[in-house]
């Protein structure tokens, strides 16, 4: 490598990051089966996109939970609406029966 590339890696923190991951791998009591996967995984943990991805996953899970709650609210409200419609129909039928009884009693009273 040229001195220029080494300086670039040092300035941008690449050498420090790679050194940290290799040190972490070296210090492990039980070495991973796939050291390349270990390096990839641990290198991505220091990349800002990983943090953003984690935030987006949390936001996604929150939104999914909110959707489930709203869907349950829709079911509950639909059931309540059906219940109110049934009660309204029963009330109207009950009023009609009372009107018919009253009308029938009024006719009987008029006949007397």
Higher pLDDT, 24 or 99: 24
Question: What integer best gives the mean pLDDT of the chain?
Answer: 86
**Threshold 0.75, pTM exceeds:** no
Angle, nearest 10°, between helix axes 35-44 and 14-27? Answer: 130
How far apart CA 74 and CA 55 sit, in angstroms, is 29
How far apart CA 64 and CA 56 sit, in angstroms, is 12
pLDDT value of position 82: 95
Residue pLDDT, tens place only, 32-60: 999 999 988 888 766 677 778 889 999 99
């Amino acid at each position: 490598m040229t001195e220029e590339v080494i300086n670039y890696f040092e300035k941008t923190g690449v050498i420090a990051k790679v050194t940290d991951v290799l040190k972490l791998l070296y210090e492990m009591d039980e070495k991973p089966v796939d050291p390349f996967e270990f390096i990839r995984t641990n290198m991505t943990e220091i990349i800002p996109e990983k943090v953003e991805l984690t935030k987006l996953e949390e936001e996604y899970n929150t939104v999914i939970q909110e959707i489930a709650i709203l869907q349950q609210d829709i079911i509950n409200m639909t059931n309540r609406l059906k219940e109110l419609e049934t009660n309204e129909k029963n009330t109207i039928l009950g009023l009609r029966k009372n009107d018919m009884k009253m009308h029938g009693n009024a006719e009987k009273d008029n006949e007397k």
